[in-house]
A and B are shown apart, each in its own frame.
Chain A
Amino acid sequence: MSTLKKLLTASAVSASLAIGLSAVVQAQSLGTPINESQLQGFDLIAQPNGSGYPAGGGTAMQGKAIFEIRCVACHGMTGEGTSANTRLVGGDMQSEERPIRTVGSYWPHASTLFDYVQRAMPADAPKSLSSDEVYQVIAYVLHLNGIIENSLVLNKETLMQVEMPNKDGFIDSSQAL
């Protein structure tokens, strides 16, 4: 859309709002149409239902090497962490008085691990891992927590089948007033 046309459209939007013709507003668009296919390198959202996962995969065995190079400085050799915030293993929601809440003890979905590591980790160089490396390194984090076998090939399909120990531990309060 040309700049002039956008300006004209914008004044039409304000004018129609002023006289309350909100139906007219919906017909005006200042946004530029785009296709989902144009967002493939941009949309990192990966959900529990299996949407949003790239191709690729790998095992915890492969992930160990990545973890030891890219993660241990902040998360410790075996995920024990360098602070409460960076502990990745252990804890028990039922037996401990103040449960240590980690990926292993607390997180309800394995998808969150993929989604988060892909978008935010390693914290000193986010988004620097390939999709294969993300699958492999999170396989290792799951393995350190005793959730999957060393040899399981974690990918789009198998990730959906991973059962997290605290999967039933959450209550959706989003509609509470």
Chain B
Amino acid sequence: MTKQDLEIVAANGLINRRHLLGLGLAGMGTLASTSLLGADAGLNLEIPGWSKQPGANASGYGSRSRFTDDMQRMSGNPNPLYPGGGASRSPLHQLQGSITPNSLHFERHHAGIPDIDPAQHKLVIHGLVRQPLVFSYEDLLRYPMVSKIYFLECSGNSGSLFGPNPADGSAQSLHGLVSGAEWTGIPLSTLLDEAGVDPDARWINAVGADAASMGRSIPLNRAMDDVMLALFQNGEPVRPGQGYPMRLFVPGCEGNISVKWLTQIKLTREPTHFRDETSKYTDTRLDRKSQQFTFPMGTKSVITAPSGQMKLERQGIYQVTGIAWSGRGSIRRVEVSADGGRTWADAMIDSHQSEKALARFTIPWQWSGGDAVLQSRATDSQGNVQPTRTSLVTEKGNISTYHFHGIQSWAVNTAGDVANVYA
């Protein structure tokens, strides 16, 4: 196949996604065939040293290659005036697929990570129930469990894009408060039914066992839906940073309500109006009224490569790839633009398209050394389309900076530098 065979489907070099099917770089254009496939006179392959001596033994607990040690979450410095408070962001730009390794899943803590002995931990369900109950970890492990793949996103993710000027940032620093995992646990409705929900109950109030005893109120109808008490993440017990030994998991909704280290569920008529659902995690509109309990996360996508602070070292074919998700359904379509949103082409979505989960998208792109602005736009199964940054900020204002789900623009300049821009 020659360069002429590549079907350009949108301006500035976007190539039909069907070229991803069964084609390697060999099928992709002149640059690929000269600089990547042409014989290099100086290169003679030899058997490497590691092929000539036995390697390390099997181990009790695996670790990654030392050559990938630079893959790290990004977190701020500890702050003595906010003990244990802060966040760490997933290295989206270095990850592939739609499952985040547990050690790189984003975190947000309000008072640090408690060191909980599961044998001492209790989960209490009480308030407007027929019979208040207390469960041990061991009790809970005996229930039938379900496993589902879901994204989790902090409602503060991408919040800096509400600001008047684009921050110099990477996919990780700007958007790294989202991750994807398989969560395994007990449908919360099973446990609530066991306690016997009083007809007067309208809300559950969930409290964690961390030093902040972080609490959130969730309407009972939502709690009886697809909410789970999660005990496992990607097959292993939920890690301390994610709520060991157990957390609430509210699919599709702002991460803060998936209360970690869950120890109390109280059923009440009214919400508690906890600090983290009044002072924080509320959305003040332009008319100065503030929306409370804005749970679902918007329809969103981010190109993770090429992305901010990367450098394209040479011209030719790149795979433009990223993640898309929606708190209201599954991802049906992701379009990519290389000219700042004037023309669009459909990307390939190559992961399972399940509800409230990350979907990986990819489209080949020929960079010919000119200026380009890469964007992606997701559409979910409810028909919700990801808005432009401008329309989102015009509609919501920027008094509050939660729930940003506008289109991200990455500018590529003629030197190949990639930067966050507003376009």
Instruction: Give the interface of A toward B (CB within 8 A).
Output: 6-7, 9-10, 13-14, 17, 25-26, 28-36, 39, 42-49, 51, 73-74, 82-83, 85-86, 93-94, 98-99, 101, 103, 106-109, 111-112, 115-116, 119-120, 123-124, 126-127, 169-177
Within 8 A of A (CB), among B97-132: 110-111, 124-126, 131-132
Which chain A residue has the least Cβ–Cβ distance from B397?
A98
Q: Which residues of A contact B293 (CB under 8 A)?
A: 172-174
Tell which of B30-38, B88-96, B278-286, B409-417 binds the partner.
B278-286
Return 24 A-B CB contacts under 8 Å, by A number: A13-B143, A14-B144, A25-B194, A29-B133, A33-B132, A34-B124, A39-B132, A45-B266, A47-B268, A49-B269, A74-B82, A93-B284, A93-B288, A111-B273, A115-B215, A115-B272, A115-B275, A123-B85, A124-B83, A127-B213, A171-B290, A172-B292, A174-B293, A176-B296
Tell which of B10-18, B42-50, B147-155, B204-212 binds the partner.
B204-212
Say yes or no: B278 contacts A126, CB within 8 Å: no
Instruction: Give the interface of B toward A (CB within 8 A).
Output: 81-83, 85, 110-111, 124-126, 131-136, 139-140, 142-144, 190-191, 193-196, 205, 207, 211-215, 219, 221-222, 264, 266, 268-275, 278-279, 282, 284, 288-296, 328, 398-399
Top 3 closest pairs, chain A to chain B, by CB: A31-B133, A10-B142, A174-B293
Say yes or no: B292 contacts A30, CB within 8 Å: no
Q: Which residues of A contact B222 (CB under 8 A)?
A: 174
Q: Which residues of B contact A29 (CB under 8 A)?
A: 131, 133, 194
Q: Which residues of A contact B294 (CB under 8 A)?
A: 173, 176
Given contacts A98-B399, A173-B291, 10 further A-B contacts (CB under 8 A): A6-B142, A29-B133, A30-B194, A31-B195, A74-B81, A83-B82, A106-B278, A115-B273, A170-B278, A176-B294
A109 to B196 Cα, complex, angstroms: 30
The distance from the CB of A23 to the nearest CB of chain B, in whole angstroms, is 10
A50 to B227 Cα, complex, angstroms: 29
A119 to B17 Cα, complex, angstroms: 53
A17 to B282 Cα, complex, angstroms: 39
The distance from the CB of B270 to the nearest CB of chain A, in whole angstroms, is 6
The distance from the CB of B307 to the nearest CB of chain A, in whole angstroms, is 28
Q: Which residues of B contact A126 (CB under 8 A)?
A: 111, 211-213
The distance from the CB of A92 to the nearest CB of chain B, in whole angstroms, is 10
A112 to B275 Cα, complex, angstroms: 6
A125 to B213 Cα, complex, angstroms: 12
A116 to B132 Cα, complex, angstroms: 24
A107 to B275 Cα, complex, angstroms: 8
Say yes or no: B215 contacts A33, CB within 8 Å: no
Say yes or no: A33 contacts B133, CB within 8 Å: yes
Q: Which residues of B contact A174 (CB under 8 A)?
A: 219, 222, 271, 292-293, 295
A26 to B132 Cα, complex, angstroms: 14
Q: Check A171/B292 contact, CB under 8 A, given A34-B126, A47-B273.
A: yes
A115 to B273 Cα, complex, angstroms: 9
The distance from the CB of B205 to the nearest CB of chain A, in whole angstroms, is 6
Which chain A residue has the least Cβ–Cβ distance from B191?
A31
Contact of A30 among B135, B213, B215, B271 (CB under 8 A): B135
Contact of A32 among B135, B144, B190 (CB under 8 A): B135
Contact of B292 among A14, A119, A173 (CB under 8 A): A173
Which chain B residue has the least Cβ–Cβ distance from A74?
B81
Say yes or no: A169 contacts B288, CB within 8 Å: yes
A170 to B293 Cα, complex, angstroms: 10
Say yes or no: A33 contacts B288, CB within 8 Å: no
The distance from the CB of B281 to the nearest CB of chain A, in whole angstroms, is 11
A176 to B288 Cα, complex, angstroms: 19
Say yes or no: B215 contacts A13, CB within 8 Å: no
Q: Which residues of A contact B211 (CB under 8 A)?
A: 120, 126
**Residue among B219, B270, B278, B399 with most chain A CB within 10 A:** B278
Say yes or no: B132 contacts A36, CB within 8 Å: yes
The distance from the CB of A27 to the nearest CB of chain B, in whole angstroms, is 9
The distance from the CB of B396 to the nearest CB of chain A, in whole angstroms, is 13
